[in-house]
Amino acid sequence: MARKDALLNLRSILVRRRDALRNALAGDLTLLRELRSESPGDVMDAAYDSAQDEISSQLAEVESRELASIENALDRMKSGHYGLCEVCNSRIPMARLNALPYATMCIGCQRDVERTGYSPASRREEQEEMSGDVELDVS
């Protein structure tokens, strides 16, 4: 029962983070629109504004990816797949979920994906091939 309670707590954390990211992204977009509508004072101001726009854009991209990961985790909770590795289907340890609530792979599979560069789907296909019947040509 402790794992279930911990998962409910993680859901609450994910929902709060999702809402905060949505608000931040909405604010960032508003700020970018305001900056573009203002006319720059001189070349240095324009360069500074351009650099700030680039930083804001990069931050928005990172936040957007995190938001997508959080929404994926919440969807996995609804479908009953949250906390299960999407590659090997084993339980993801609570310590990992506490550190990264939107983790979709156990540490071993995550390391393999990072080391090999395979996507989770490619990794899953590879494991299915390895676990299937092996045909040998003995002719």
DSSP E strands: which ranges in the chain? Answer: none
Per-residue pLDDT tens digits for 3-20: 888 888 999 999 988 888
Give the pLDDT of residue 127.
Answer: 61
Residue 111 — very low, low, confident or very high, per pLDDT cuts 50/70/90? very high
Tokens of 28: 């960032």
At residue 22's C-alpha, the angle toward residues 69 and 85, to 5°, is 15
What are the structural domains, with CATH classification, of the chain? 1-79 (1.20.120.910), 83-133 (no CATH)
Contact present, 52 and 35 (Cβ < 8 Å): yes
Q: What is the pLDDT of residue 3?
A: 82
Find the mean pLDDT for residues 35-43. Answer: 54
Q: Which one, of 50, 14, 6, lies nearest residue 32 by Cα?
A: 50
The DSSP output letter for 84 is B
pLDDT for 137 beyond 60: no
Q: With pLDDT > 70 as the criterion, what percentage of the chain qualifies?
A: 64
106 or 46, greater pLDDT? 106
Between 79 and 24, residue with greater pLDDT: 79
| Tens-digit pLDDT profile for residues 53-88 | 667 777 778 888 989 999 999 999 999 999 999 999
Buried b / exposed e along 102-138 (16+ C-beta atoms within 10 A): bbbbbeebbebbeeeebebeebbeeeeeeeeeeeeee
- Whole-number average pLDDT of the chain: 78
Q: Which residue would you say has higher pLDDT here, 39 or 73?
A: 73
